[in-house]
Chain A
Amino acid sequence: MQDANKRFVERDRNWHPPAYAPGYKTSVARSPRQALVSMQHATASELTGPNFRGLRMGPHDNDLLLNFSQGQGLPVGERMIMFGRVVDQFGKPVPHTLVEMWQANAGGRYRHRNDNYLAPLDPHFGGVGRTLTDDQGWYRFRTIKPGPYPWPNDVNSWRPSHIHVSVMGPAISTRLITQMYFEGDPLIPLCPIVNTLKDPDAVETMVGRLDMARSRPMDCLAYRFDLVVRGELQTYFENQ
């Protein structure tokens, strides 16, 4: 039933942000004080996960220019393609995996009942997309570049433009939610959420790159954002 010989490269928790990162104030009361309990041997429960090839998607699920307005009009903002490849730590493509994303509109306003920011909603923009990677691990969305928005952390905190990205990978062990930032955005180094990461190289893994070659002349720009999930290993000799 399951592949009993699988395991994943250990997650480097000094590379990822720590749970407690007081510059990001909400993490203060929402971070465990106890140490994580390490499973010395992951079990079938951790080494398996869902695949979504049987999820029936709509024709515009990965096209945020069309999937909210249903043809009634186009959203305002910078038209862009977001694309990239999902690979594991050994560079192996991760095919047919679910990639989901959500974001604010061009003015930094989310279509969510709790977002009261005074920038208006765009009647033609919802801000949610999903797709499966192809045989080679590639995914693609079409959207509007989101705007920065203010949030109550420090007196004057602003999130850089970002798109939330969720990827499943082959198992619940590889599950990851992150954010894509945009190359060159001066708000990136000021952001308390970005700065939960200690290693500047780790921040670089979250920055989408302008890719002129994949842009469409007179239509839209393109940003490339590759995602790396934990590498899958075979466990030799464990039971011998």
Chain B
Amino acid sequence: MKQPNSQPASELMLRETASQTAGPYVHIGLALAAAGNPTRDEEIWNEMAKPEAEGEHIEVVGTVIDGNGDLVRDAFIEAWQADSQGVYQPAFDLEKPFNSFGRTATTFEHGSEWTLKTVKPGRVRVDGIDEEHGAIDDKDSDLASARSALKMAPHINLAIFARGVNIHLQTRLYFEDEVEANAECPVLSRLEPSRRDTLIATREEEEGKVRYRLDIRLQGEGETVFFDF
């Protein structure tokens, strides 16, 4: 039986499957504990760094706020970040001390805050090449390659899914105590100053624990910058 999207339609390309909202019950599928349901042996959740992971251990927290200023209590968030050395670790494995990928959610509990337990990411080169292991072609010195060797400021990529969000919103979280790196970041520095601050998490310290806070505002005053890429 023919699939509607099994034959290339135009330009010899298939169309991407269309997005739909994750809906109000996304947690039963992707955040089982947050839905109050039994979990499986291994879940993809918000402890990205175990105590033995290298780097500065931090908690990253926030809320999600809608255009009326109300808390979004049913958001689901995915995080993707480099390790403390600025290297992405794609092979997800819960036995490793650090995973670059994590998930979190807001619910009607815990003040409707999301939380990630992680380490502060290192700076990543735009082209992702790890200087220790990757080859850099010194002869290549034009603008494009100079750009690709630039280092971005430490950041965590966040994708926000929720009821009412038809296609997930992609943003980045930066750190307020990385002033110099933030000023040099080729992504952050492109933003208008009035909007740049919406991506910068504030630092809090409590009983020796370092916590960064970023509230994500979906709409209106102080609206978070969302990216298309």
Contact = CB atoms under 8 A, between A and B. Distances in A.
A2 B80 CA distance: 15
A72 interface: no
A173 B70 CA distance: 29
Name the residue among A29, A52, A230 with the largest chain B CB count within 10 angstroms: A29
Interface residues of B, number: 102
Contacts of B74: 114
B3 A17 contact: no
A120 B33 CA distance: 21
B144 interface: yes
B128 A228 contact: no
Interface in A65-94: 87-91
B13 A90 contact: yes
Nearest to A33: B219
A44 B155 CA distance: 12
Nearest to A113: B36
Contact of B225 (A37, A112, A205, A206): A37
Interface size class of A (residues with CB under 8 A): 35 or more
Contact of A32 (B127, B152, B169): B169
Interface in A100-134: 100-102, 104, 110-115, 126-128
A43 B124 contact: yes
A4 B128 contact: yes
A2 B92 contact: no
Contacts of A2: 88, 127-129
A209 interface: yes
Given A2-B128, A173-B229, A205 B26 contact: no
Contact of B227 (A39, A206, A209): A39
Nearest to A206: B18
B159 interface: yes
Contacts, number: 316
B27 to A, nearest CB: 7
A34 B223 contact: yes
Interface string A188-223: 000001101100011111110111110000000000
A52 B92 CA distance: 5
A150 interface: no
Nearest to B162: A30
A135 to B, nearest CB: 18
B15 A44 contact: no
A47 interface: yes
Contacts of A9: 13, 16
B93 interface: yes
Given A32-B218, A61-B40, A210-B1, A100 B30 contact: yes
A50 B18 contact: no
A112 B27 contact: yes
Contacts of B16: 9, 11-12, 15-16, 89, 176, 205, 228-230
A21 interface: yes
Given A177-B22, A193-B21, A205-B15, A43 B152 contact: yes
Given A45-B157, A46-B157, A54-B93, 18 more contacts: A1-B88, A2-B128, A30-B72, A32-B169, A43-B152, A53-B91, A55-B42, A56-B94, A91-B14, A112-B25, A164-B25, A172-B78, A209-B1, A226-B5, A227-B17, A231-B13, A239-B140, A239-B148
Interface of B: 1, 3-6, 8-9, 12-30, 32, 35-38, 40-42, 44, 66-68, 70, 72, 74, 78, 80, 82, 87-88, 90-96, 99-101, 108, 124-130, 133-134, 140, 142, 144-145, 147-148, 152, 155, 157, 159, 161-170, 172, 186-187, 190-191, 195, 218-220, 223-229
30 contacts: A16-B167, A25-B164, A26-B21, A26-B163, A26-B164, A27-B21, A31-B219, A37-B191, A37-B227, A42-B229, A44-B129, A45-B82, A45-B172, A48-B128, A55-B93, A55-B94, A102-B29, A110-B25, A115-B24, A126-B37, A126-B38, A127-B28, A172-B80, A176-B16, A176-B17, A202-B18, A209-B4, A224-B3, A226-B3, A228-B16
In the A-B complex, the 7 residue pairs with the closest CB atoms:
A44-B128, A102-B29, A26-B164, A2-B128, A54-B93, A30-B164, A50-B101
